[in-house]
Amino acid sequence: MGCFKLRCTNLYHLKCAQTDGAMFFQDKTMLCHQHVQKTGPVEGELSCISVFRKVYVNRDENKQVARYVNVTIQSKKKVI
């Protein structure tokens, strides 16, 4: 996840952002700890990031494995 502040390059995993003090919003945006407004509650701020519905991650595991194997083979070729 990236900070919504223009030109901010901070990127986080969801749990890392939460641990670091990021602020999450209902429109699925986030502000990192450096850009959080510290003046009380903000309109649209999420108080909890729990999801009470099923969430599916669509991924092609075969493609991921093939990519990993290809990168491993390419890196071994460079070493030799």
pLDDT digits (tens, 9 = 90+) for 21-60: 999 998 989 999 999 877 777 888 888 888 788 877 777 8
Give a yes or no: residue 32 inside a domain: yes
Measure the CA–CA gap between 67 and 71, rounded to whole angstroms: 6
Is 3 within the bounds of a domain? no
Inform me whether the pLDDT recorded for 6 exceeds 60: yes
Q: Give the pLDDT of residue 71.
A: 72
Q: Retrieve residue 43's tokens.
A: 């309109």
44 within domain boundaries:
yes
Give domain status of residue 2, yes or no. no
Domain with 52, as residue range(s), is 14-79
What does the pLDDT read at residue 79?
53
Tell whether 41 is covered by a domain: yes
Task: Say how many domains are in the chain.
Answer: 1
Answer yes or no: is 7 within a domain. Answer: no
Neighbour tally for 29: CB within 10 Å = 14
User: Is residue 4 assigned to a domain?
Assistant: no
Question: How confident is the model over 58-66, as a mean pLDDT?
Answer: 81
